[in-house]
C-alpha cells in the first residue's frame, strides 16, 4: 500500500464520502479512484444504491471532469454521485453568485418601452410606467409607483417577491406565474401603504400588506446580530 | 450661438406642427431670430400652417445633398421682417434621405446665425425622430390629455433621456378641454405631469381659433385675443427664461362682458 493515498473513502450514515487529494495530477487521481473502487469489493453487493459525495478540496474540477468522475463512479453498479464539493470556484462563478445575491439600486423612471433587468434583487427608486418592464433574478422593491410589468425570480425562484409603494401593475410575474390587473381597475380600497406580491400555497400570485412578508419570507432578513 | 429646440410627441396629430409654428412665431414676436426646420420629410406641412407653401424653391434634402446653399433654401416670413425663416422639408423623398450626422451639421450651421432653431419632429420613433433630435439642445414634448398620447409621450421621453446632448425635456399639454377635465372624463394636468414626471412648460386649451388660423395659414400666436395664442406666447416667454404663471383654465375668465352678465344674474 502506498504511503500517501490520493483517494480516501469514508463511510457515514448518509452514504460514502470520497476525499480526493488536491495535489496529485488529475490523471493519477482518476487512475487511483478506479483502482480503489475496484478493490473495495464490499461495494459490489447489490443492495439499494449508495449515495456518494465527492470532496475535491482545493482542486478545481471542470464540468467535463466532473462528468468523467461521475461516470466512473456510476460504473460501479450501486454507487450514485450525490454532490461535488470543493473549496474553490472560478472567478465567473463567484461573480455570478455575488451578482445574484446583490441588491442593485437604480434611481430613475422606467418609461414605456424600457426594460431594466438585474441578476439579483432590484431596488428601484422611481416609478415603472405603463409599458415599462423590470426583471430581477431575485426580489423587486419599488420605492415609487408600479404601473407597468414587474417580473421577479426570472430564473425560477418562486419565493421571490415584488413590493411597491403604489401597486397598480399591468402585470405581475413571479417565476412562471402571471397575474394581470383586474379589468375594472384597482379598487380604491383603504390606504394600506406599501404592498407586496408573492406566490401563495396554491401557486397563485396574491397581493397583501407589506408586513405579512416577515412571516411568509423570513429569509428576506439578512441582518446578522443587531437589535 | 443659438439654441436648437426639437418639438416632438411620438404620437401623430397631437399638435407638434401647430406648436412649432406658434412657438416660433411667438419667439419672433419677441424680437428673436428664429428658424423653423421641418424634418417631416415626405409629409411636410409646417409650410402650409405658416402659409409659406408657394414660396418654397429648395428644401432640406437639397441643402443636405449640396444641391443648394442653406440661404437659398430658407424661406423668409415677410410678416416678421427678417426674424422668422422656414427651412421646409422635401416632399418627394422620405426620411432615409437624411442621416442624423447630416442633420446635426445642418443645425449647427443654423445655430451660428439664429437665436432659436425650432425643429418640427415627425411622428414615430424611427429614422425621422433620430434625425430631428440629432442636432437639438433642448426638447419639448407635446401631448394631449388622452391615454394614448401620454403613453407615447412617456416612450419619447425615455428615448430623449438617452440622448446625452439634450437637456431634460419639458412638457406641453395641448388641446385641453376644460369641461371634460373638470368632470374627470379626461386626464387632468396634475395626473399627466406626475405620471411623466418632467417639467411642465405650458398648457394650451382646445380652441376653434387654432383650426381657423391654420386654414388661413396664419399662426394663432399672431392673434392676441385667443386663449391658445396667449398660451403659446407664454411658452415662448418661459423658453426665454421668464417665469410666467400658468393660465387659469376656468371659463369665468372670458372677459368683462360675461362677468357683468353673471353679475346681473345671467349664466
For B209-237, what is the mean pLDDT? 92
Identify the contact set of chain B against chain A, taking CB-CB distances under 8 A: 151-152, 154-155, 157-159, 161, 195-197
Q: Tens digits of per-residue pLDDT, A169-204?
A: 999 999 999 998 888 777 766 566 889 999 999 999
Domains along chain A with CATH numbers: 7-85 (3.30.160), 95-220 (2.160.20.70)
Q: What number is the ipTM of this complex?
A: 0.79
For A122-141, what is the mean pLDDT? 95
Q: Are strands A7-11 and A16-20 parallel, antiparallel or unpaired?
A: antiparallel
Q: Are B148 and B10 in contact (CB under 8 A)?
A: no
Residue spans of the domains in chain B: they are: 3-263
Q: Is the pLDDT of residue B266 over 60?
A: no
Q: DSSP letters of B139-172?
A: EEEEE-SSHHHHHHHHHHHHHHHH-TTSPPPEEE
Q: Tens digits of per-residue pLDDT, B37-92?
A: 999 999 999 999 999 999 999 999 999 999 999 999 999 999 998 999 999 999 99
CA distance B196 to chain A (A): 8
Contact B197 A112 (CB under 8 A): no
The reported pLDDT for the residue numbered B260 is: 61
For B227-234, what is the mean pLDDT? 94
- To 10 degrees, what angle do helices A63-74 and A26-39 make? 20
Contact A111 B151 (CB under 8 A): no
Identify the contact set of chain A against chain B, taking CB-CB distances under 8 A: 109, 111-114, 127, 129-132
CATH number corresponding to B3-263: 3.40.50.300
- Residue B30 banded pLDDT, cuts 50, 70, 90: very high
Q: Tens digits of per-residue pLDDT, B108-117?
A: 999 999 999 9
Average model confidence (pLDDT) across chain B: 91
CA distance A129 to chain B (A): 7
Q: Choose between B105 and A191: higher pLDDT.
A: B105
Contact B197 A127 (CB under 8 A): yes
The reported pLDDT for the residue numbered A204 is: 92
> Grid coordinates representing A87?
473549496
Give the mutation candidate from A109, A110, A131, A166 for the B interface (greatest B CB count, under 10 A).
A109
CA distance A126 to chain B (A): 10
B154, B161, B197: residue with CB nearest A112: B154
3-state secondary structure of A163: strand
Amino acid at each position: 500500500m502506498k504511503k500517501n493515498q490520493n483517494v480516501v473513502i469514508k463511510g457515514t450514515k448518509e452514504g460514502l464520502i470520497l476525499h480526493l487529494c488536491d495535489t496529485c495530477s488529475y490523471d493519477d487521481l482518476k487512475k487511483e479512484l478506479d483502482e480503489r473502487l475496484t478493490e473495495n469489493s464490499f461495494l459490489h453487493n447489490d443492495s439499494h444504491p449508495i449515495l456518494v459525495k465527492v470532496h475535491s478540496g482545493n482542486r478545481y474540477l471542470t464540468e467535463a471532469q466532473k462528468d468523467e468522475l461521475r461516470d466512473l463512479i456510476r460504473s460501479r453498479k450501486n454507487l450514485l454521485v450525490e454532490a461535488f464539493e470543493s473549496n474553490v470556484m472560478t472567478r465567473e462563478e463567484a461573480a455570478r453568485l455575488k451578482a445574484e445575491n446583490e441588491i442593485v439600486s437604480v434611481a430613475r423612471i422606467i418609461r414605456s418601452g424600457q426594460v431594466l433587468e438585474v441578476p439579483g434583487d432590484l431596488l428601484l427608486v422611481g416609478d415603472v410606467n405603463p409599458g415599462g418592464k423590470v426583471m430581477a433574478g431575485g426580489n423587486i422593491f419599488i420605492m415609487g409607483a408600479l404601473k407597468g410589468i414587474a417580473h421577479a425570480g426570472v430564473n425560477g425562484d418562486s419565493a421571490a417577491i415584488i413590493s411597491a409603494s403604489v401597486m397598480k401593475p399591468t402585470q405581475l410575474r413571479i417565476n412562471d406565474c402571471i397575474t394581470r390587473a383586474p379589468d375594472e381597475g384597482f379598487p380604491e380600497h383603504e390606504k394600506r401603504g406599501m404592498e407586496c406580491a408573492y406566490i401563495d400555497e396554491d401557486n397563485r400570485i396574491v397581493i397583501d400588506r407589506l408586513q405579512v412578508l416577515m412571516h411568509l419570507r423570513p429569509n428576506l432578513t439578512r441582518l446578522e446580530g443587531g437589535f | 450661438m443659438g439654441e436648437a429646440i426639437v418639438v416632438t410627441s411620438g404620437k401623430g396629430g397631437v399638435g407638434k406642427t401647430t406648436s412649432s409654428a406658434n412657438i416660433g412665431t411667438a419667439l419672433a414676436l419677441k424680437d428673436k431670430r428664429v428658424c423653423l426646420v421641418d424634418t417631416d420629410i415626405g409629409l411636410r406641412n409646417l409650410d402650409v400652417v405658416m402659409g409659406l407653401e408657394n414660396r418654397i424653391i429648395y428644401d432640406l434634402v437639397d441643402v443636405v445633398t449640396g444641391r443648394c446653399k442653406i440661404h437659398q433654401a430658407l424661406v423668409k416670413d415677410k410678416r416678421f421682417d427678417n426674424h422668422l425663416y422656414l427651412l421646409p422639408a422635401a416632399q418627394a423623398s422620405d426620411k432615409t434621405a437624411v442621416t442624423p450626422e447630416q442633420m446635426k451639421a445642418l443645425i449647427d450651421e443654423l445655430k451660428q446665425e439664429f437665436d432659436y432653431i425650432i425643429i418640427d419632429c415627425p411622428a414615430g420613433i424611427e429614422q425621422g425622430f433620430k434625425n430631428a433630435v440629432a442636432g437639438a439642445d433642448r426638447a419639448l414634448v407635446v401631448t394631449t390629455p388622452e391615454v394614448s398620447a401620454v403613453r407615447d409621450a412617456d416612450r419619447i421621453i425615455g428615448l430623449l433621456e438617452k440622448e446625452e446632448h439634450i437637456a431634460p425635456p419639458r412638457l406641453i399639454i395641448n388641446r385641453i378641454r376644460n369641461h371634460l377635465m373638470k368632470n374627470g372624463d379626461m386626464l387632468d394636468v396634475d395626473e399627466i405631469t406626475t405620471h411623466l414626471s418632467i417639467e411642465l412648460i405650458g398648457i394650451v386649451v382646445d380652441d376653434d381659433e387654432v383650426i381657423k388660423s391654420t386654414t388661413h395659414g396664419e399662426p394663432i400666436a399672431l392673434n392676441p385675443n385667443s386663449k391658445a395664442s396667449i398660451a403659446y406666447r407664454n411658452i415662448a416667454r418661459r423658453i426665454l427664461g421668464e417665469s410666467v404663471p400658468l393660465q387659469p383654465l376656468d371659463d369665468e375668465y372670458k372677459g368683462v362682458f360675461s362677468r357683468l352678465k353673471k353679475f346681473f344674474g345671467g349664466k
